[in-house]
């Protein structure tokens, strides 16, 4: 019972935060709303007994990335952007699409709910503990994707440096 | 979990082309600042060596086929075929880029070649991954490198527009795909293609049919974007038109081939039990893609834009073979892509040369009188265009023949008829280029075509020879494709 | 040489092209010499073919077989029977004359022009000797390319339109034909497990009637567009009118015959049940009759000399298809002979237009009149060509038309009756054309000083006239050589019938009268 209550609380936080992120005018407000949304997701992780993910979410996303975001936003003065015309002028169409997508998702979930009860999908908490299990997966089974993810990041860094660096000529 | 922490020698050999390219690319990044501005072409030489090494290693790895890293990666005929294909595509792109950047002085840098190498790692993974997570990572590596390359000339507005559009729409599409992968994991408890297949055969279909269909539909959106199938093709013309010509070649040839490899592998392994249910959707997508591509191409006056729409149309023909969901169909996809890659790279290489500095001459009318200005170039372009039309003795003919044979084999009579009519209608816009090239005098302003460097010459000659080889003696590739297609299942 | 004679015939023009590529483009006369030498050599190497051909044998001769694409069962399989021998001879002969006739008229991009012409020869010979359906298709499509360039680069004022129309029409027909080929091929695999495009093997394929009809219509589209049959003929007047003279000659004399040849070689033997189906026969015959009469009537209306000849082709080819779908031996044999006749006489008519176009650069009929006074020799040659085309006895056109009409009457009185009106209209438009251009007084000042035929033009006309007379006077060898293959086709479609010699005997009687 308490679980369900917490679930809806965190879910509300996540969704409301997300909506505020795309509707707020000031970049700072957007970033703070995003933090709220991410915190909501972190809470959901905790409810799923994924303590490690919960910690990572807090430390990396909220503590690291988002704080960096805020720094950048406050360093470059974006006040002028707040006064400009916003992109969400077609909110009516967007709302209809969102409602439709939500409704179809709801319908599907109600139709297919039994399939989520399958034993594979709901692994029991391992005696080894969450972190060990994750490490085991990452460094044994998913070793290659894990290593290659670093290449993905490298490419992204190279790209952003290339895009941002001053032209010499 | 029996998997050992230390990979075996076989594991490493099967991954070795990717390892070499990753390490080599990183090394290129390290030595890039140490090379003088005048010597950036050396980076191209390194890239060529790396890609050649990767090709050799993938052939070696094929001598001992199998899965590696606990089923993460699979080396079979299919993946080897596509590895060689995307490497070859990368090689030709590097060769033609050297000339391009010599012309666009001051914008060359080693990162460009490193990005090609990294992108090849991604494409090679897309061809050989046996696991949805790895597949996704491969796709993202290839795509992100592609986004950056599309906007490589930062001072050029068209480049910026191209990169931004590609990035925004591409990220959106990959998000769809990732969402689909998450659903698949939720439904079957695995992201390994073989396990997913077993789960579907073992009752997941009965238990949660609709949800499975939605999951595959989400993934299909991602795939359709990457192969530029209608209605997810709208990015292609803008991106190809705006991007530097060699990059457009790379994106429309290599990236598309890898995306098809990924689509076919997933469709023929994990979701093969569902293929009958998907036939209608694929049927409609294939037809729409052919029609949209061909009829939009008819109205273009910019050759890069026309080629973009033509590449959409060609994706449609290949989808016809995918719709057939048979071994013959898979072999047809492989053969088609081999000849498609060659002719596309060839056409874009010629366009690169004719376009001149700053890509000033990219209207179809700028090709007028090319046969007088540059007879050899005109002949090469003629070969590629005839191959794109599908005239015999070029690779394009047997490719189309094989695709439509596969379709008829699977009783897709109407799709075949409509596809054949499409391919006849498509001849019109390719003929327009031939007409201005041979039958109209050179325009007043058209300057002499810049002398071609050795790199781009090699790229054009190699593509032309390859196109003719596939048209005159298709047996070798057909046989290999036929055998490799059986291994997918 | 005996074993690879057909390959030699096929390759001679190709070798010519390869050598041509190494001659510098500025040495125009050297190029012309070499191209003509290649074309004459092409004709000479084809002579042993007809001399050594044994007409008493069934089946194919000079067969060569090499596996080309084992995975698909495609072979390089070539060979000839009586029908294809005649077509090959027509190709090499007309090709030689057409190439010679362009000596003075082509001065721009000479090297490319001759290269295209010789390549065209390769493609057309290939079409007529292929015994593998895929190989046939490859040559069939390849022929498009040189003709497209010949019309588009060296053609008249509306050449771009004509070239593209020609290409798209025939390509569309070709791809639809491919559909039928693949269907037949897959059906053969399903029944026998053997992947092959060899036509003698594909003949053993059994298909349900609806499928056979489907395949028939798919072949029909490919062949009928090429012939061209009404209503697919609209590309022909444009292509003919805009093409350079030699291009028109080859187009009329050989290229169009690929379509009729296709009907005889593929549609009838591979799909005998569909070909004998009443509905299909009726549709094809009606289209042929419409083509005959419509082509003739439109010819009557033309103001443009070359367009008139072009539309007369539609009419004459209507006779050829009518003969084929009379489905008896006279009909098919007559059709093949009429194809050769049409090659000779329409080829001559196009050359005649070319001669005057060289001098005056206009094709408007009303620009001319009374040319017989200025150019007497020319008028004689034109009269000869006209009479040959109109089917005067003792000239070639008569033999073909007569045999076809006889076959048509034999099959159905009404068909014959309609076809006869075509002959009458044919005489009408040709005679009227002759009257308007050659007879009367010279009305146009510009026509006064025109030179008569020069020796180069004579060199082209004399062999054609000789051949026309030869066929007209002594057609027996042609009927003899066609007897076996035609009998085989008719037997496949209808079951056994009276031998083709019956027609010859009756013909002889007519001539004796």
Instruction: Classify strands C74-80 and B73-75 as parallel, antiparallel or unpaired.
Output: unpaired
Under an 8 A CB cutoff, do C71 and B423 touch?
no
How confident is residue B338, by pLDDT bands cut at 50, 70 and 90? very high
Distance CA C96, CA A13 (A): 87
Distance CA B439, CA C151 (A): 10
Provide mean pLDDT across the span B284-289. 93
Residues of C with Cβ-Cβ distance to B386 under 8 angstroms: 145
ipTM of the complex model: 0.87
Q: Are C480 and C462 in contact (CB under 8 A)?
A: no
Task: Name which of B4, B137, B147 is nearest A149 (Cβ-Cβ).
Answer: B137
Note the pLDDT tens digit of each residue in B157-197: 888 888 888 998 899 889 999 999 998 888 888 888 888 88
Task: Name which of C149, C168, C182 is nearest B427 (Cβ-Cβ).
Answer: C168
Under an 8 A CB cutoff, do C179 and B408 touch?
yes
Domains in chain B: how many in total?
Answer: 1
Position B189 in a domain: yes
Under an 8 A CB cutoff, do B145 and A145 touch?
no
Distance CA C57, CA B450 (A): 62
The two three-digit tokens of residue A93, written as one number: 């169409």
Residues with Cβ within 8 Å of residue B437, at least 6 apart in sequence:
B367, B368, B369, B370, B371, B378, B381, B382
DSSP character for C198? Answer: B
Nearest C-alpha in C relative to B431? C164
Position B3 in a domain: no
Under an 8 A CB cutoff, do C149 and B438 touch?
yes
Do C and B touch, counting CB pairs below 8 Å (3 needed)? Answer: yes
Q: Which of B32, B189, B217 to mutate to test the interface with A (most CBs of A within 10 A)?
A: B189
Exposed, middle or buried, A140 (CB in 10 Å: 0-12/13-18/19+)?
middle
Answer whether the bond into residue A88 is a cis peptide, omega within 30°. no
Residue listed under structure tokens 């004689």: C380
Note the pLDDT tens digit of each residue in C331-383: 889 899 999 999 999 999 999 888 888 888 888 888 888 888 888 888 888 88
Under an 8 A CB cutoff, do C176 and B420 touch?
yes
Distance CA C138, CA C37 (A): 27
Of A22-31, B14-23, B340-349, B393-402, minimum mean pLDDT range: A22-31
Distance CA B95, CA B87 (A): 12
Residues with Cβ within 8 Å of residue A156, at least 6 apart in sequence:
B144
Strand partners, C64: C78
Strand partners, C61: C80
Note the pLDDT tens digit of each residue in C72-94: 888 888 888 888 989 999 999 99
Local structure of B233: helix, strand or coil: coil
Question: Cα B130–B135–B139 angle (5° rounding)?
Answer: 150
Distance CA B227, CA B170 (A): 11
Note the pLDDT tens digit of each residue in A119-166: 444 455 556 667 777 888 888 888 888 889 999 999 998 888 887 775
Report residue B66: phi and psi, to 5°.
Answer: 155, -175
C186 touches chain B (CB under 8 A): yes
CA distance A74 to chain B (A): 25
Overall size of chain B counted in residues: 489
3-state helix, strand, coil in chain B (%, to 5): 80, 0, 20
Under an 8 A CB cutoff, do B211 and A154 touch?
no
Nearest C-alpha in B relative to A139? B5
Note the pLDDT tens digit of each residue in B34-88: 877 777 778 888 999 999 999 999 999 988 888 888 888 899 889 999 999 999 9
Q: Are C254 and C124 in contact (CB under 8 A)?
A: yes
Q: Which residue has the higher pLDDT, C439 or C512?
A: C439
Domain boundaries, chain C: 1-272, 277-513
How confident is residue B261, by pLDDT bands cut at 50, 70 and 90? very high
Of C412, C403, C416, nearest to C482 by C-alpha is C403
Distance CA A86, CA B410 (A): 52
Return the axis-axis angle of helices C476-494 and C501-512, rounded to nearest 10°.
140
Position B197 in a domain: yes
Residues of C with Cβ-Cβ distance to B368 under 8 angstroms: none
Residue B23 lies in domain: 9-487
Exposed, middle or buried, A128 (CB in 10 Å: 0-12/13-18/19+)?
exposed
Position B4 in a domain: no
Under an 8 A CB cutoff, do B405 and C138 touch?
no
Residue A14, pLDDT above cutoff 60: yes
Question: Cα B191–B192–B196 angle (5° rounding)?
Answer: 80
Distance CA B248, CA B347 (A): 11
Distance CA B413, CA B394 (A): 25
> Which residue spans within C275-398 are E strands per DSSP?
none
Distance CA B165, CA C106 (A): 52
How confident is residue B122, by pLDDT bands cut at 50, 70 and 90? very high
Residues of C with Cβ-Cβ distance to B428 under 8 angstroms: 164, 168
Distance CA C271, CA C281 (A): 13
Residue B484, pLDDT above cutoff 80: yes
Under an 8 A CB cutoff, do B417 and C152 touch?
no
* Alpha-carbon separation of residue B446 from B350, B381, B438, C114, C334 (angstroms): 16, 18, 15, 28, 56
Neighbouring subunits of C (3+ Cβ pairs under 8 A): B
Residues of B with Cβ-Cβ distance to C161 under 8 angstroms: none
Task: Name which of B390, B397, B439 is nearest C152 (Cβ-Cβ).
Answer: B439
Distance CA C422, CA C403 (A): 15
Rg value, chain C, Cα: 22
Provide mean pLDDT across the span C457-466. 88
Neighbouring subunits of A (3+ Cβ pairs under 8 A): B
pLDDT (0 to 100) of residue B347: 94
Distance CA C460, CA A127 (A): 99
Answer whether the bond into residue C231 is a cis peptide, omega within 30°. yes
Of C350, C354, C382, C463, nearest to C103 by C-alpha is C354
Return the axis-axis angle of helices C329-360 and C476-494, rounded to nearest 10°.
130
Residue C25, pLDDT above cutoff 90: no
How confident is residue B118, by pLDDT bands cut at 50, 70 and 90? very high
How confident is residue B449, by pLDDT bands cut at 50, 70 and 90? low
C276 touches chain B (CB under 8 A): no
CA distance B58 to chain C (A): 25
Position B1 in a domain: no
The two three-digit tokens of residue C387, written as one number: 């009479």
Position B66 in a domain: yes
Distance CA A107, CA B267 (A): 26
Q: How far apart are the first and last CA of chain C?
A: 46
pLDDT (0 to 100) of residue B194: 87
Q: Which of C70, C144, C182, C222 to mutate to test the interface with B (most CBs of B within 10 A)?
A: C182
Question: Cα B210–B213–B215 angle (5° rounding)?
Answer: 110
Percent of chain B with pLDDT over 70: 95
């Amino acid at each position: 019972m308490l679980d369900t209550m917490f679930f809806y609380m965190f879910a509300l936080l996540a969704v409301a935060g997300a909506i505020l992120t795309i509707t707020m005018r000031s970049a700072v407000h957007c970033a703070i709303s995003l933090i709220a949304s991410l915190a909501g997701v972190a809470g959901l992780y905790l409810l799923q007994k994924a303590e490690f993910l919960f910690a990572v979410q807090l430390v990396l996303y909220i503590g690291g990335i988002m704080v960096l975001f805020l720094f950048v936003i406050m360093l470059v003065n974006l006040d002028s952007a707040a006064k400009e015309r916003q992109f969400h002028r077609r909110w009516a169409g967007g709302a209809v699409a969102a409602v439709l997508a939500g409704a179809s998702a709801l319908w599907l979930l109600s139709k297919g709910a039994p399939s989520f009860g399958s034993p594979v999908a709901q692994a029991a908490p391992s005696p080894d503990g969450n972190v060990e299990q994750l490490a085991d997966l990452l460094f044994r089974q998913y070793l290659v994707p894990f290593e290659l993810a670093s290449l993905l990041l490298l490419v992204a860094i190279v790209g952003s440096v290339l895009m941002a660096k001053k032209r010499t000529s | 979990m029996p998997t050992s922490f230390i990979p075996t020698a076989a594991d490493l050999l099967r991954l070795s082309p990717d390892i070499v390219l990753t390490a080599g690319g990183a090394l290129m990044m390290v030595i890039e600042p140490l090379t003088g501005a005048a010597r950036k072409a050396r980076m191209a030489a390194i890239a060529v060596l790396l890609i050649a090494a990767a090709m050799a290693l993938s052939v070696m790895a094929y001598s001992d086929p199998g899965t590696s890293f606990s089923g993460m990666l699979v080396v079979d005929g299919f993946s080897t075929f596509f590895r060689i294909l995307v490497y070859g595509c990368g090689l030709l792109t590097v060769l033609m880029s050297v000339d391009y950047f010599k012309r666009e002085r001051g914008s060359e840098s080693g990162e460009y070649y490193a990005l090609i190498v990294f992108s090849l790692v991604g494409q090679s993974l897309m061809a050989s991954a046996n696991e949805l997570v790895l597949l996704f990572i491969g796709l993202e590596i290839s795509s992100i490198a592609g986004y950056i390359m599309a906007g490589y000339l930062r001072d050029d507005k068209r480049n910026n527009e191209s990169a931004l559009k590609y990035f925004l729409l591409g990220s959106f599409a990959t998000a769809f795909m990732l969402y689909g992968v998450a659903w698949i994991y939720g439904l079957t408890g695995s992201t390994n293609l073989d396990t997913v297949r077993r789960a579907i055969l073992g009752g997941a279909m009965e238990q949660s049919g609709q949800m499975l269909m939605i999951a595959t539909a989400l993934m299909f959106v991602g795939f359709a974007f990457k192969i530029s199938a209608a209605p997810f093709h709208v990015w292609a013309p803008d991106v190809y038109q705006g991007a530097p010509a060699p990059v457009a070649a790379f994106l429309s040839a290599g990236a598309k081939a890898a995306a098809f490899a990924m689509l076919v592998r997933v469709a023929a392994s994990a979701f093969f039990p569902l293929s009958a249910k998907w036939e209608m959707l694929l049927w409609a997508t294939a037809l729409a893609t052919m029609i949209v591509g061909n009829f939009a191409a008819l109205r273009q006056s910019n050759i890069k834009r026309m080629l973009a729409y033509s590449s959409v149309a060609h994706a449609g023909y290949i989808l016809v073979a995918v719709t057939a969901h048979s071994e013959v169909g898979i072999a047809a996809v492989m053969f088609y892509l081999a000849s498609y890659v060659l002719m596309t790279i060839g056409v874009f290489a010629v366009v690169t040369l004719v376009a001149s500095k700053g890509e000033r001459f990219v209207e179809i009318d700028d090709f007028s009188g090319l046969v007088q200005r540059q007879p050899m170039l005109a002949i090469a372009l003629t070969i590629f265009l005839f191959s794109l039309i599908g005239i015999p003795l070029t690779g394009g003919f047997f490719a189309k023949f094989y695709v439509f044979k596969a379709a008829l084999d699977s009783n897709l009579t109407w799709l075949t008829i409509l596809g054949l009519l499409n391919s006849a209608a498509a001849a019109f816009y390719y003929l327009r280029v031939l007409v201005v090239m041979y039958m109209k005098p050179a325009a007043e302003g058209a300057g002499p075509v810049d002398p071609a460097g050795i790199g781009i010459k090699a790229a054009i000659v190699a593509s032309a020879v390859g196109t003719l080889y596939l048209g005159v003696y298709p047996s070798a590739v057909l046989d290999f494709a036929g055998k490799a297609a059986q291994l997918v299942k | 040489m005996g074993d690879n004679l057909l390959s030699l015939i096929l390759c001679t023009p190709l070798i010519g092209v390869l050598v041509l590529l190494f001659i510098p483009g500025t040495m125009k006369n050297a190029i012309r010499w070499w191209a003509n030498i290649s074309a004459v050599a092409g004709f000479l190497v084809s002579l042993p073919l007809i001399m050594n051909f044994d007409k008493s044998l069934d089946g194919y001769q000079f067969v060569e077989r090499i596996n080309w694409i084992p995975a698909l069962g495609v072979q390089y399989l070539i060979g000839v029977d009586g029908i294809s021998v005649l077509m090959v001879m027509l190709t090499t002969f007309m090709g030689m004359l057409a190439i010679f006739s362009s000596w003075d008229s082509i001065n721009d991009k000479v090297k490319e022009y001759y290269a295209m012409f010789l390549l065209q020869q390769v493609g057309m010979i290939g079409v007529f000797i292929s015994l593998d359906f895929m190989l046939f298709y490859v040559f069939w499509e390849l022929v498009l390319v040189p003709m497209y360039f010949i019309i588009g680069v060296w053609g008249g004022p509306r050449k771009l339109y004509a070239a593209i129309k020609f290409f798209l029409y025939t390509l569309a027909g070709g791809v639809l034909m491919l559909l039928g080929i693949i269907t037949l091929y897959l059906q053969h695999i399903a029944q026998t497990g053997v992947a092959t495009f060899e036509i003698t093997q594909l003949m053993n394929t059994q298909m349900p009637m609806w499928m056979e009809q489907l395949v028939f219509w798919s072949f029909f589209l490919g062949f009928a567009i090429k012939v061209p049959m009404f209503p697919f003929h609209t590309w022909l007047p444009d292509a003919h009118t805009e093409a350079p003279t030699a291009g028109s000659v080859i187009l009329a004399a050989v290229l169009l015959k690929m379509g009729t040849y296709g009907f005889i070689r593929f549609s009838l033997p591979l799909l005998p049940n569909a070909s004998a189906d009443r509905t299909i026969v009726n549709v094809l015959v009606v289209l042929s009759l419409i083509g005959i009469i419509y082509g003739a009537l439109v010819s009557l209306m033309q103001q443009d000399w070359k367009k008139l000849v072009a539309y007369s082709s539609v009419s004459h080819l209507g006779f050829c298809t009518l003969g084929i779908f009379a489905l008896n031996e006279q009909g098919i044999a007559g059709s093949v002979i009429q194809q050769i006749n049409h090659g000779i006489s329409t080829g001559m008519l196009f050359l005649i237009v070319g001669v005057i176009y060289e001098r005056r650069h206009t094709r408007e009929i009303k620009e001319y009149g009374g040319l017989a006074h200025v150019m007497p020799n020319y008028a004689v040659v034109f009269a000869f060509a006209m009479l040959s085309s109109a089917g005067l006895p003792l000239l070639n056109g008569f033999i073909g038309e007569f045999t076809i009409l006889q076959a048509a009457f034999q099959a159905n009185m009404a068909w014959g009756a309609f076809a006869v009106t075509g002959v009458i209209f044919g005489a009408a438009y040709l005679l009227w054309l002759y009257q308007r251009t050659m007879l009367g007084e010279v009305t146009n000042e510009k026509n006064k000083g025109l030179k008569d035929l020069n020796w180069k033009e004579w060199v082209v006309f004399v062999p054609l006239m000789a051949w026309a007379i030869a066929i007209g006077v002594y057609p027996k060898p042609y009927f003899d050589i066609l007897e076996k293959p035609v009998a085989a086709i008719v037997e496949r479609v209808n079951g056994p019938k009276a031998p083709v010699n019956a027609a010859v005997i009756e013909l002889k009687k007519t001539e004796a009268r």
